[in-house]
Amino acid sequence: MPSQQPVIEPRSFSLEARPDFAAIAAWVKPGAKVLDLGCGDGSLLYFLRNSRDIRGYGVEIDDSNVLACFNNGVNVIQSDLESGLQSFESDSFDYVVLSQTLQAVKHTEGIVKEMLRVSKEAIVSFPNFGYWKNRFQVMLGHMPVSETLPYQWFDTPNIHNCTLGDFEQFCCQHGARILERRIMSRSRQVTFLPNLFGMLAFYRFERQK
Amino acid sequence: MQDSNSIGIVSPQSTHFDAPLHLKSGAVIDSYELVYETYGELNAARSNAVLICHALSGNHHVAGFYDENPKSGGWWNNMIGAGKSIDTEKFFVIGVNNLGGCHGSTGPASINPRTGKSYGPDFPVVTVEDWVKTQARLADHLGIDQFAAIAGGSLGGMQAMQWTLDFPERVRHALVIAAAAKLTAQNIAFNDVARQAIITDPDYHGGDYYTHAVVPRRGLRLARMLGHITYLSDDAMAAKFGRELRNGALAFGFDVEFEIESYLRYQGDKFADQFDANTYLLMTKALDYFDPAHQHNNDLSAAFRAATASYLVLSFTTDWRFSPERSRAIVKALLDNELNVSYAEITSSHGHDSFLMEDRHYHKLVRAYMDNIVT
């Protein structure tokens, strides 16, 4: 009897389809060792493996996401990243990635501290709360609902939103030295007034020496 | 056989090994027999073989049925079969009864060729390492140089792990389910109470009960009852039995009153009828002795340094005998060695026994992992 499992189509991501993946991949050196925190279905690791030949692990808590990682053939460790990264030795990765998850974690300080412990460099992406459409909605008296913040205030997982300015201040106060940043509006890079026109922010940083 | 995806009727095979086997204890077994079953077809490249290692009371009858009786099903029938998580359409699956067992492989009840009598208490203590050695010889006999995967739960998971340490070139994937890298003191304590129950049974006769034509039934029964308690979770027991009384009212005596008593006695009786007490002693010792980190200054990461396999590690939330914490220690050691590893902690109410139970998520995880194995 043939397997009842649907055949898993090999994934392909075009740079246009996932500009956020492409932005992260541009910073990752080929062959690097990568830890992806809150890795979801493992798409980013899959993409980095194919485009950058990385070795990597994902950390994910949700059952259905863990199963999706298994289906994608991506190494995943089911665990709650809020409770720390005890399974990982200090300085054991080249990059630790927190892709569009920073704004949804409870223990932001603890997690960033752990990221800087286990990895030489950290890459973080998050929706910029300072994006003009968000500011405009707040000005009109409402919590913003936008492309990058698609949730209503009462059911949003995003409990720690911040602007570019907030994040840079945070890094400064928490021993993180910013190496590079890239601000995007959809697939376009934003250089003019990024805290106003940027939708998604990417930062690469390391432990302050 | 209501199971439409089963592989149907299967029958065991047996092979005799003449080369002396040097055991970890220093003892030597001159020759021995291993009984095994196979399901599916070995492909032309001989690259699709999967070995299933059994736990404390398991055996080689892993999947399929012996006859039309639905009770003759293999112990992992819900996991292994045509179109199942470990798919016999893709893989050539082997189940083997471990040396020292009581289901056909040479064990304490077998005749010792040196004496012409049953081995009884003279059967040497066997370890997980010894079993792996015998399984490797069986693989040689079947023409399998390298397993696509070796899988097992509990004590079976320990064997899967040991394989990747002793024969790294012969196993590509290890499925280590509800296992541990070593037993805790509490675990050894449970095993010793079980052994004491058997050894102090007057019918035990120092292990030589075969010649007295008796079996230490009471001891074995108690051992199994104790074990059974530890394989279930408090919640599962409460949900299944609660404080239900068999006859609806207290009888103010010591006969069976609560449903849980009835269940445990039934399980104990059933087990005592079909399992050999000496084998039970051996299997619990193999569990107690397993500790690959020991010869590496108790550094589990160092123990895995020679390993090259990819690993699937699974644990169950209510398993307190082999808790998720024990599995996480294995995962840590694998991560330290930069080995491929995926780990899932499965929500289940069935305690240690969860690894044998039908569970959609659990079986989907194993299927997804197995589907990605290249043969």
Q: CB–CB of B40/B88 below 8 Å?
A: yes
Tokens linked to B91: 């893989």
Please write the tens of the pLDDT for every residue from B25-73.
Answer: 999 999 999 999 999 999 999 999 999 999 999 999 999 999 988 889 9
The partner residue sitting opposite A70, judged by closest CB among B83, B90, B342, is B342
Measured CA to CA, the distance from residue B336 to residue B328 in angstroms comes to: 12
User: Does A205 have pLDDT greater than 50?
Assistant: yes
SS (H, E, C) chain A: CCCCCCCCCCCCCCCCCCHHHHHHHHHCCCCCEEEEECCCCCHHHHHHHHHHCCEEEEEECCHHHHHHHHHCCCCEEECCHHHCCCCCCCCCEEEEEEECCHHHCCCHHHHHHHHHHHEEEEEEEEEECCCHHHHHHHHCCCCCCCCCCCCCCCCCCCCCCECHHHHHHHHHHCCEEEEEEEEEECCEECCCCHHHHCCEEEEEEEECC
Please write the tens of the pLDDT for every residue from A4-50.
Answer: 333 344 455 555 567 889 999 999 999 999 999 999 999 999 999 99
Answering whether pTM is above 0.90, one says yes
Mean pLDDT per 10-residue interval, chain B, length 375 residues: 73 97 97 98 98 97 92 95 97 98 98 95 98 98 98 98 98 98 98 98 97 96 97 92 93 94 96 97 98 98 98 97 98 98 97 97 98 96
Please write the tens of the pLDDT for every residue from A60-81.
Answer: 999 999 999 999 999 999 999 9
The partner residue sitting opposite A78, judged by closest CB among B87, B90, B343, is B343
Q: Judge whether B105 counts as a catalytic residue.
A: no
Asked if the Cβ–Cβ distance from B365 to A66 is below 8 Å, we say: yes
Sign of torsion over alpha carbons B325, B330, B333, B336: negative
C-alpha distance from A73 to closest chain B C-alpha (Å): 6
Which residues from chain B sit within 8 angstroms of residue A1, using beta carbons?
5, 82-83, 89
pLDDT at A18: 79
Identify which of B114, B82, B94 has the alpha carbon closest to the alpha carbon of residue B8.
B82
Non-local CB neighbours of B322 within 8 Å, separated by 6+ positions: B154, B178, B179, B180, B187, B315, B352
Asked if the Cβ–Cβ distance from B342 to A76 is below 8 Å, we say: yes
The partner residue sitting opposite B89, judged by closest CB among A3, A74, A87, is A3
Q: Chain B window 313-372: which residues touch A at a Cβ cutoff of 8 Å?
A: 328, 331-332, 335-336, 338, 340-345, 347, 361, 364-365, 367-369, 371-372
What distances in angstroms separate CA B272 from CA A119, B57, B229, B267, B269, one per listed residue?
55, 11, 16, 9, 5
pLDDT at A13: 54
Choose the catalytic residue: B87, B201, B288, B319: B319
The partner residue sitting opposite A63, judged by closest CB among B5, B341, B361, is B361
Q: What are phi and psi of B371, to 5 degrees?
A: -60, -30
pLDDT at B69: 87
State the CB neighbour count (10 A cutoff) for residue A154. Answer: 6
Which residues from chain B sit within 8 angstroms of residue A66, using beta carbons?
344, 365
Domain A19-129+161-207, CATH number (from 3.20.20.80, 3.40.50.920, 3.40.50.150, 3.40.50.300): 3.40.50.150
pLDDT at A11: 54
Mean pLDDT of A154-159: 95
pLDDT at B1: 46
Domain ranges in chain A are 19-129+161-207
pLDDT at A12: 54
pLDDT at B70: 86
Which residues from chain B sit within 8 angstroms of residue A74, using beta carbons?
342
Asked if the Cβ–Cβ distance from B361 to A67 is below 8 Å, we say: yes
CA angle B329, B330, B336 (to 5 degrees): 90
SS (H, E, C) chain B: CCCCCCCCECCCEEEEECCCEECCCCCEECCEEEEEEEECCCCCCCCCEEEEECCCCCCCCCCCECCCCHHHCCCCCCCEECCCCEECCCCEEEEECCCCCCCCCCCCCCEECCCCEECHHHCCCCCHHHHHHHHHHHHHHCCCCCEEEEEEECHHHHHHHHHHHHCHHHEEEEEEECCCCCCCHHHHHHHHHHHHHHHCCHHHHHHCCCCCCCCCHHHHHHHHHHHHHHHCCHHHHHHHCCCCECCCCCCCCCCCCEHHHHHHHHHHHHHHHHCCHHHHHHHHHHHHHCCCCHHHCCCHHHHCCCCCCEEEEEEECCCCCCCHHHHHHHHHHHHHCCCCEEEEEECCCCHHHHHHCCCHHHHHHHHHHHHCCCC
Measured CA to CA, the distance from residue B272 to residue B197 in angstroms comes to: 12
Task: Mutation target for B interface from A59, A63, A78: give the one with most B CBs within 10 A.
Answer: A78
Please write the tens of the pLDDT for every residue from A104-132.
Answer: 999 999 999 999 999 999 999 999 999 99
pLDDT at B7: 87
Q: What are phi and psi of B243, to 5 degrees?
A: -115, 25
Q: Judge whether B319 counts as a catalytic residue.
A: yes
Measured CA to CA, the distance from residue B93 to residue B118 in angstroms comes to: 32
pLDDT at B68: 86
Widest pairwise Cα distance in chain A: 62
Measured CA to CA, the distance from residue B190 to residue B287 in angstroms comes to: 11
pLDDT at B350: 94
